[in-house]
A and B are shown apart, each in its own frame.
Chain A
Amino acid sequence: KAGVTQTPRYLIKTRGQQVTLSCSPISGHRSVSWYQQTPGQGLQFLFEYFSETQRNKGNFPGRFSGRQFSNSRSEMNVSTLELGDSALYLCASSLAFRLVDTQYFGPGTRLTVL
C-alpha cells in the first residue's frame, strides 16, 4: 500500500505570494491533518479534515486554510506569505476521526519564503 505523498517536496516563494500544498493520504484513510515544523516553534498542529469537513483547527491566522476533496486528498493554502512561514509542512493521514488512530506522515514540503 502506498504511503502518504506530498507535493511539491520543495518550494521557494517570495513575501506576499500565496502557495498551495497537496497531500494524498493512504488509500482508505479519511482523516488528513496538517502540521508546521520550524526550528523555533517546533511542530505545531494546523488543522484536521475528515470527510471533506474541517474538524479541528490549531492556533494559526486565517491566512492558513485548507480543504479536502471527496477522494480524501487535501490541499493547504497559505496566502500573503511572510518570512516566518518558512517551514517544513507535514501532512498525516489516519483511518479515524479525532486522531484516535495511528497517524502516518508524509515526507513533508519544505517551503522557503524569501
Chain B
Amino acid sequence: KQEVTQIPAALSVPEGENLVLNCSFTDSAIYNLQWFRQDPGKGLTSLLLIQSSQREQTSGRLNASLDKSSGRSTLYIAASQPGDSATYLCAAWDTGNQFYFGTGTSLTVIP
C-alpha cells in the first residue's frame, strides 16, 4: 500500500523567505503527483500537477519537482507572503488506481 509522508508537519517562516515543502511516497508506480493547499474550513485548491513523465511544474512563485526513483517531490515557494499561510497537501495517484494524500504541512508566514 502506498504511503505518502510530508515533513515537516508544521512550518513557521518570516515573510519574504523562500521555503521548501517535502513529500515522500513509498511506491514509485504513480501516474502523477499533485500539490494542493487547504485553507481552514474550506475545500482544497489544486496548485500543481506533475505527470509521472515530467520532472517539474511551475506556476508563479511555486515550483514543484518530482523524482520518482527516490520517491520524493518538493514544493518550492519563493518570496513567501502571509497569504501563503495554509495547509499544503501532496497526493499521489498510483497505478493501482488509488489516490493517496500526504499528512500535510501547516505553513504560517509571519508578516
Write the residues of chain A forming the contact surface with B, with a CB cutoff of 8 angstroms: 4, 33, 35, 42-45, 48, 55-56, 58-59, 90, 92, 98-108
24 A-B residue pairings within 8 Å (CB atoms): A4-B43, A33-B99, A42-B101, A42-B102, A42-B103, A42-B104, A43-B89, A43-B101, A56-B97, A56-B99, A58-B98, A92-B43, A92-B44, A98-B93, A99-B32, A100-B31, A100-B32, A100-B93, A103-B46, A105-B43, A105-B45, A105-B46, A107-B42, A107-B43
User: Contacts A45-B98, A58-B99; is A99 near B45 (CB within 8 Å)?
Assistant: no
Identify whether the interface residues of B are mostly helix, strand, loop, or mixed. strand
A107 to B40, CA, bound (A): 11
Which residue, of A44, A103, A106, A108, has the highest number of chain B Cβ atoms within 10 A?
A103
Write the residues of chain B forming the contact surface with A, with a CB cutoff of 8 angstroms: 31-32, 34, 36, 42-46, 49, 51, 89, 91, 93, 97-104
Closest A residue to B49 by beta carbon equals: A102
Residues of B within 8 A of A4 (CB): 43
Q: Is the CB–CB distance between A90 and B31 below 8 Å?
A: no
Residues of B within 8 A of A44 (CB): 101
Closest CB of chain A to B7's CB: distance in Å? Answer: 15
A33 to B46, CA, bound (A): 14
A108 to B41, CA, bound (A): 9
Residues of B within 8 A of A48 (CB): 99
Residues of B within 8 A of A92 (CB): 43-44
A98 to B100, CA, bound (A): 13
A35 to B34, CA, bound (A): 15
